[in-house]
Amino acid sequence: MSEAISFQDWAVVACGTMGPELDHLKQTGFLNAAELIYTPPGEHQNCEKLEQKLAEAIGRARTTAEKIIVVYGGTHCYLNRARPERTIDTVIERLHPRAYRTDAANCVDMLADAEQRKAMSGSREIYWITPGWIKHREFVFGDWDKDVADEAFPTYDGGALVLDAVGYYDQIAHDEPETLMELSDWMKISIAPRTVTLDRLKGLLADCVIRDLERALTDTAGQDARTTAELAKKLAAAKTVREALRNDSIPTPSNGDPA
């Protein structure tokens, strides 16, 4: 199915938190981007530094490809309380007109949307995390002291669920079980895996390609018929891939949920 859509003339800029998933997509051939560039994780509340790192990454990406996918969420990945009118989208648009952000709230939402998470959680309050949160915990939770953690985490009666599409939880549970135990002790809630697929993330990446193809079709309307036909064919193929990904469901977890 991935052969119907290509990222070979794209560069991807992403928060390092999404590294486990994007690296897997690259290794398995779906994300055949010209370049994959990561910004440091945990900068969502340091707007000035985040903008600087994004500018550097997008500037580097533009030397490789004209079209860029920015794997950042729109709600929680950039929090500018001093200037609320300034959003991640306005920042990206200023940096490059042909950069497309993945249409999700945050990294958790890139692996399972709100409806899927609701189905997984039932009536419980879940603190959702991804493998990147564990891998980069010292950056993600860098400004959390013990008092803040003690107040925030225990309200989640369903514990923390790791949306894991790459087998990260099982690997770290085997190789570094003390890491999970220390994090669980600090959060004062249980941590368990929830197996998901990468189909939602694949779909969000495909959406960026679709948006660019639709834009290109509009720009070439009434001009070269052959170019228009080729773009229309690519767009139809990309939409077929996207629809197949949308119809796939999240499998039942093999490791169970937290008690």
Classify the C-alpha dihedral 180-186-190-195 as positive or negative. negative
Which tokens sit at 163? 């949306």
Strands, DSSP E only, in the chain?
Answer: 10-15, 35-39, 67-71, 99-101, 127-129, 160-164, 191-195
Quote the DSSP letter at residue 253.
P
Which tokens sit at 76? 């929680």
**Mean pLDDT, all residues of the chain:** 89
Which tokens sit at 110? 């890139």
Query: How many angstroms separate the CA atoms of 90 and 155, rounded?
Result: 34
Kindly report the backbone phi and psi dihedral angles of residue 104, in degrees, each rounded to the nearest multiple of 5, phi listed first: -145, 160
Over the stretch 59-74, which tens digit does the pLDDT of each residue have?
999 999 999 999 999 8
Is pLDDT above 50 for 258?
Answer: no
> What is the mean predicted confidence (pLDDT) over 233-238?
92
Cα 113–chain centre separation:
11
pLDDT at 248: 62
Over the stretch 21-35, which tens digit does the pLDDT of each residue have?
999 999 999 999 999
pLDDT at 15: 94
pLDDT at 259: 32
Q: How confident is the model at residue 252 (pLDDT cuts 50, 70, 90)?
A: very low
Is pLDDT above 60 for 95?
Answer: yes
Which tokens sit at 223? 């001009």
pLDDT at 45: 67
Amino acid identity, position 85: E
Over the stretch 104-149, which tens digit does the pLDDT of each residue have?
999 999 999 999 999 999 889 999 999 999 999 988 887 777 788 8
pLDDT at 3: 58
Amino acid identity, position 42: G
> What is the mean predicted confidence (pLDDT) over 39-51?
84
> 155: burial class by Cβ within 10 Å (0-12, 13-18, 19+)?
exposed
Closest CA to 12 of 23, 1, 20, 27: 23
